[in-house]
């Protein structure tokens, strides 16, 4: 196994002679085997290792014991130890994000901090072949393109390395047994609350039994193919943007729509995504729904138009030019002021995910994407679930306006919001205090009262938006 790992290190240029490597160690078999292997080859590569352990504060004393276990093991190996303790449940409550998402963000933030503190060249992660297969399936279920189906990269950003990505789980356990190295098992790995665990314990065994006994290997091979093709697509996109004189670090990016339309649709999508990601935090959070908003804008028969996207991104069409930039405070304030005046009250734009406090009503509404129908509970007055792919961005929250319509859940046609309130015998004086969730086409939720048929969840729904008044 060690020889296989050394070949992977050489193939992907993961580690260079004399590197200082931060090793992410949870205490489980994967990360413990990673630490042990790097310790065994450290002399050959003249490596200096530092163990980094993040205590997520989820499992109380058990997590504290695991931290102490990794600390003691590092000490026995003569490896410097760094740790940090956080409380993920508190962060979940404050941000509205999932536990998995927060844990991942905080883990990478901690590892980056340790690397900066010590001036490290690499950060080593213990993901193995089966983790890669699970990641590919997860991204497939989310509707990812080639960027998601390429899975985890052996080397990311020139710093994060995954030496075990070619190694099977059984090889890891055999290695630990042969080396007489102890480890701890996280009981949450058996919990079906998490999507990855349901894929690991349910979906993959069934697919292997019914269709392909070598499923994981096939998925990893496929990921490698997509990695190479994605790299090619990126190089083509970069070449086109450079040919157009586009500099992604500019505060405003302008491209000719006629030039864009001359490209293959797949390249059009990649160009738009690349530009939008330039304005998004950490170049993430841009999906096909956002690309479709831009495509509708440039395919329109109208010579002008605009679209407001998440992260304060503004896209404007002016005849044959598409201008994408970040909204200025003046843009946001003037747009909000106009919208408030038009609606006769409050107006808030919505990003996904988001947490919007409606100051005028003393109400907070959260927006969270969930990836599986198993997470969906019954619709209640203060909570609704919607098919995210049926929503036409942008999203906003405002009171009713004259002419507002909705297609009430279970109905074929549309109905005026005013008529809906009249039928419900809802007092006229209170109607302006009911927030409406509105997308680019119509009202999709009368908060606490009725969902639109257009965005209801079906068996084909892949991404689900959970909206909740908290």
* Residue, of 392 and 378, whose pLDDT is higher: 392
- pLDDT score, position 375: 62
Alpha carbons 432 and 458: distance in angstroms, whole number: 31
Tokens of 172: 């890891």
Q: What is the mean pLDDT of residues 394-399?
A: 88
Residue-wise pLDDT for 166-177, tens only, equals 999 999 999 999
- pLDDT score, position 33: 97
Find out whether 296 and 302 touch, Cβ atoms under 8 Å.
Answer: no
Q: What is the mean pLDDT of residues 284-307?
A: 85
Q: Is residue 36 predicted with pLDDT exceeding 70? A: yes
Q: Residue 71 belongs to what H/E stretch? A: helix 60-77
Query: DSSP letter at 453?
Result: G
- pLDDT score, position 330: 54
Ranking 5-9, 68-72, 301-305 by mean pLDDT, the lowest is: 301-305
- pLDDT score, position 105: 86
> What percentage of the chain carries pLDDT values higher than 90?
60
**CB-based burial, 430-448: b 16+ in 10 Å, e otherwise:** ebbebbbbbbeebbbbbbe
- pLDDT score, position 92: 65
Smallest CA-to-CA distance from 165 within 8, 40, 38 is with 8
- pLDDT score, position 374: 58
Cis peptide before 51 (omega within 30 of 0): no
Smallest CA-to-CA distance from 335 within 310, 308, 309, 365 is with 308
Residue with tokens 């942008």: 394
- pLDDT score, position 143: 80
48-55 and 20-24 strand pairing:
parallel
Ranking 236-245, 297-306, 327-336, 451-460 by mean pLDDT, the lowest is: 327-336
Smallest CA-to-CA distance from 346 within 396, 416, 404 is with 396
Cis peptide before 394 (omega within 30 of 0): yes
Alpha carbons 389 and 5: distance in angstroms, whole number: 41
Query: DSSP letter at 327?
Result: P
Tokens of 180: 């007489």
Alpha carbons 156 and 464: distance in angstroms, whole number: 29
**Distances in Å between the alpha carbon of 103 and those of 47, 86, 98, 109?**
28, 9, 8, 10
- pLDDT score, position 195: 82
What is the average pLDDT score of the chain? Answer: 88
Residue with tokens 């008529």: 419
- pLDDT score, position 225: 96
Q: How confident is the model at residue 273 (pLDDT cuts 50, 70, 90)?
A: very high
Q: How confident is the model at residue 112 (pLDDT cuts 50, 70, 90)?
A: very high
- pLDDT score, position 103: 83
Q: What is the mean pLDDT of residues 225-252?
A: 94
* Residue, of 310 and 366, whose pLDDT is higher: 366
- pLDDT score, position 93: 64
Count the residues in the chain: 470
**Distances in Å between the alpha carbon of 21 and those of 222, 286, 357?**
29, 32, 43
Q: How confident is the model at residue 150 (pLDDT cuts 50, 70, 90)?
A: very high
- pLDDT score, position 38: 97
Residue with tokens 């138009």: 305
CB atoms within 10 A of CB 117: 11
Give 35: exposed, middle or buried? Use CB within 10 Å, 0-12, 13-18, 19+: buried
Q: How confident is the model at residue 349 (pLDDT cuts 50, 70, 90)?
A: confident
* Residue, of 338 and 465, whose pLDDT is higher: 465
- pLDDT score, position 138: 92
- pLDDT score, position 28: 95
- pLDDT score, position 187: 75
- pLDDT score, position 307: 81
Q: What residues form DSSP beta bridges with 397?
A: 348, 437
- pLDDT score, position 340: 52
Find out whether 381 and 449 touch, Cβ atoms under 8 Å.
Answer: yes
- pLDDT score, position 441: 84
Handedness of CA 306, 311, 312, 318 (dihedral sign): negative
Find out whether 107 and 88 touch, Cβ atoms under 8 Å.
Answer: no
In degrees rounded to 5, what are phi and psi of residue 408?
Answer: -60, 145
Domains, the chain, with CATH or none: 2-223 (3.40.50.620), 244-327 (3.30.465.60), 330-469 (no CATH)
In degrees rounded to 5, what are phi and psi of residue 452?
Answer: -80, 140
Alpha carbons 38 and 31: distance in angstroms, whole number: 11
Find out whether 464 and 379 touch, Cβ atoms under 8 Å.
Answer: no
In degrees rounded to 5, what are phi and psi of residue 140?
Answer: -65, -45
| Beta-strand runs (E) in 18-166 | 20-24, 48-55, 80-85, 122-124, 155-156, 160-161
Residue-wise pLDDT for 134-146, tens only, equals 999 999 987 888 8
Ranking 12-21, 254-263, 301-310, 383-392 by mean pLDDT, the lowest is: 301-310
Q: Is residue 373 predicted with pLDDT exceeding 70? A: no
């Amino acid at each position: 196994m060690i020889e296989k790992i050394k070949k992977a290190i050489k193939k992907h240029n993961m580690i260079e002679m004399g590197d200082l490597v931060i090793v992410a160690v949870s205490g489980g078999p994967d990360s413990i085997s990673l630490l042990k292997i790097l310790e065994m080859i450290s002399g050959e590569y003249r490596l200096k290792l530092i163990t980094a352990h993040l205590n997520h504060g989820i499992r109380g004393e058990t997590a504290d014991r695991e931290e102490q276990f990794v600390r003691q093991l590092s000490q026995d190996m003569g490896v410097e130890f760094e740790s940090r303790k956080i409380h993920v449940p508190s962060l979940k409550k404050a941000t509205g994000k999932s536990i998995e998402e927060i844990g991942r963000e905080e883990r990478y933030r901690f590892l980056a901090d340790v690397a900066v503190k010590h001036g490290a060249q690499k950060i080593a992660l213990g993901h193995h072949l089966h983790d890669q297969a699970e990641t590919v399936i997860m991204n497939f279920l989310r509707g990812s393109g080639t960027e998601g189906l390429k899975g985890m990269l052996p080397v990311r950003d020139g710093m994060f390395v995954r030496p075990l990505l070619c190694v099977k789980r059984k090889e890891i356990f055999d290695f630990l047994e042969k080396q007489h190295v102890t480890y701890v098992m996280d009981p949450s790995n058996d919990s079906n609350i998490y999507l990855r665990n349901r894929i690991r314990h349910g979906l993959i065994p069934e697919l292997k039994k019914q269709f392909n006994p070598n499923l994981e290997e096939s998925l990893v091979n496929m990921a490698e193919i997509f990695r190479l093709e994605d790299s090619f697509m990126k190089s083509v996109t970069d070449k086109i943007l450079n040919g157009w004189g586009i500099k992604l670090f500019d505060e405003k990016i302008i491209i000719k729509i006629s030039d864009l339309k001359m490209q293959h649709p797949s390249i059009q999508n990649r160009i738009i995504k690349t530009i939008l990601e330039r304005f998004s935090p950490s170049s993430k959070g841009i999906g096909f729904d956002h690309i479709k908003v831009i495509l509708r804008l440039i395919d329109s028969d109208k010579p002008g138009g605009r679209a407001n996207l998440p992260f304060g991104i503004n896209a404007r069409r002016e005849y044959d030019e598409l201008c994408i930039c970040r909204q200025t405070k003046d843009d946001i304030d003037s747009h909000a002021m106009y919208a408030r005046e038009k609606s006769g009250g409050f107006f808030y734009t919505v990003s996904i995910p988001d947490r919007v406090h409606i100051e005028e009503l003393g109400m907070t509404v959260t927006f969270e994407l969930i990836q599986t129908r198993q997470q969906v509970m019954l619709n209640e007055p203060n909570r609704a679930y919607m098919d995210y792919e049926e929503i036409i961005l942008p999203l906003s929250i405002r009171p009713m306006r004259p002419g507002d319509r909705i297609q009430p859940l279970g109905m074929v046609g549309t109905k005026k919001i005013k008529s809906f309130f009249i039928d419900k015998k809802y007092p006229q004086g209170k109607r302006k205090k009911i927030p409406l969730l509105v997308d680019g086409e119509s009202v999709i939720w009368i908060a606490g009262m009725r969902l639109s048929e257009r965005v209801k969840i079906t068996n084909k729904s892949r991404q689900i938006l959970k909206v909740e008044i908290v």
